[in-house]
Structure 1
């Protein structure tokens, strides 16, 4: 596989590659074109914190975005963990060894290219040269997760007026009449004043009454806390599968 571009794919280099979820993966550096088929099958994307890690990504599944950049169905972690490939320095141009390419196919679970038709060749009824076997392929669902806003929660404080009843002990003064006989001890006080007269004597009575006032005191702290709840959801998608049937001329005559 030699490194060069075609007119259709030439503008891909220098653009940013994203996952279909919107996560940024890295910048496209090079395109790798198949010697026999003549179109790019791999691209090099530069990832890492400082852009020092190069990974090969299948062109299959890559498509342009509306903003001119690219997106792929392969997640970032899968791309960063792809086998490292060392180009063959003895070959004309830069080449990927076939065994390394097969490791990449297996890593990305891409159907391998029938060993590039190195086995017995023949011609099937549709015309192209092929070997003596068919490759049956099928699509499989790639399931992942993405973060989205589910909703928002707020704390709101408001004032409610309520009536409380509290039992408050109170005291009051009441008057009662006390009579005492004249004795030697109080005779002097009893004889002080005129013998016969009219007069009034006043006593001030006091009592306690409840007094109500309010004060604000802190009673508790309230905050919103988030927690993750693990759940399972069932997703469905349509996949295509190839089926192979065998028939013979005898079956057709029947």
Structure 2
């Protein structure tokens, strides 16, 4: 585990990090790092680079991080389209268990480790590291991403949070998003999405936060017991 968040680091992302084959948790959020990391170890489970100065497009080889469960690249300057390979991350497809995560080994040592800070349900929260195996998160909000939503993102069955808000993403919401069976937070607000809200979203039985405001969506809001329980379902079309 390597945590150096909330400092003043600048410059390109260090390429030497590819020489750390046993690194499973890398947290560099709230710095001024630029450049896109590449060649990181497939053992990496958590990558947090939120609130840096990272520019460029998300590389297609992101799918090589086969153990990745938490990816937070929010609040950067990423542009280009979302790579379809994001939907092929095995760590976000298979439901996590404590036995499958290396965290249980790392945290068996008496080390005081700061909780991982993430944006969860519209507020910044700390996720206890001892429980990180329970969470699968993908946060690419507050960037300059454009293009359409890849249908492959619907493959991420174990994903609990998907936040793509505050970008310039256009096109339709894929029907495949009905396959996000573990999703609790789905935020696509403040984009350029159009068309109707897919009826398949009514299949999301664990959804409790849905953000679709500030788009160009039309048509009815799908009905389901879960969607009806949301605090303000009418906000989906604002």
Name the TM-score, length of structure 1 as normaliser.
Answer: 0.20
More helix by share: 2
Calculate the TM-score normalised by the size of structure 2.
0.21
Q: Which has the larger radius of gyration?
A: 1
